[in-house]
């Protein structure tokens, strides 16, 4: 639990630092990518409506970074993760598929820009399975129930199904969280920003 809190503090500090840096230099694509990555991380700690808003804000920052540098492969990769995250939060399969398609395009562009990056290639491979996984998740119940707080379930069967759904949600977002965290951490290490105390 403490590590989750430390992660939350780290990425909140990262978000604020990126916001301050942006005020001084709005054309810094690296900073915009870090900002988008920090928002993606912070979105994982929010209820669904706030999570969607943060992911949307992250998408805007990443698109802004790509306007400055269209070949910025880490921004493309993060944007693919943003589209994937939004898609899993949308119960309608057809609407979600639009976001999955955007994610595949971003992952493909990132892999094309840096073909030696295993993370980009793996993301592209996994994104092909995402629409089917989305169907499975939403067939067993809305993602909002798995992600948001809800009333306690009295029967053990319902509790077990909810736990499985919640575990599945963490499996899905786990690789996204880890990967975005690594990218953001490396970005901040490169910019010599000390971690919060």
Give per-residue pLDDT as tens, 156-168: 333 444 444 445 5
What's the rounded Cα separation, in Å, for the pair 79 and 138?
Answer: 23
Residue 196 gets the label, from left (phi > 0), alpha (psi -120 to 50) or beta, of beta
In tens, the pLDDT along 101-152 reads: 999 999 999 999 999 999 999 999 989 889 988 888 888 765 444 444 333 3
Instruction: Quote the pLDDT of residue 163.
Output: 46
In tens, the pLDDT along 175-196 reads: 454 445 444 444 444 454 444 4
The CA-atom distances, in angstroms, between 82 and each of 25, 34, 160, 186, 192 are: 24, 13, 29, 19, 26
What's the rounded Cα separation, in Å, for the pair 5 and 1?
Answer: 6
Percentage of residues of the chain with pLDDT beyond 70 = 70
Which H or E element spans position 131?
helix 130-139
What's the rounded Cα separation, in Å, for the pair 170 and 146?
Answer: 10
Q: Determine the length of the chain.
A: 197
What tokens does 108 get?
Answer: 């493909």
| Its pTM surpasses 0.85 | no
């Amino acid at each position: 639990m403490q590590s989750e809190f430390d992660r939350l503090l780290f990425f909140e500090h990262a978000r604020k630092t990126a916001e301050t840096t942006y005020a001084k230099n709005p054309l810094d694509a690296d900073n915009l990518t870090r900002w988008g990555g920090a928002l993606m991380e912070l979105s994982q700690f929010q209820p669904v409506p706030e999570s969607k808003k943060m992911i949307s804000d992250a998408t805007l920052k990443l698109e802004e970074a790509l306007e400055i540098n269209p070949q910025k492969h880490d921004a493309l990769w993060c944007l693919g993760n943003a589209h994937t995250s939004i898609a899993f939060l949308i119960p309608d399969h057809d609407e979600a598929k639009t976001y999955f398609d955007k994610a595949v395009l971003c992952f493909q562009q990132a892999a094309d820009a840096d073909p030696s990056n295993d993370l980009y290639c793996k993301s592209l491979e996994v994104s092909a399975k995402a629409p089917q996984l989305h169907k499975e998740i939403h067939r067993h119940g809305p993602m909002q129930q798995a992600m948001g707080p809800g009333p306690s379930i009295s029967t053990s069967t319902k509790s077990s199904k909810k736990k499985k759904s919640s575990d599945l949600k963490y499996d899905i977002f786990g690789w996204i969280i880890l990967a975005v965290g690594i990218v953001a951490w490396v970005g901040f290490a490169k910019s010599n920003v000390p971690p919060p105390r």
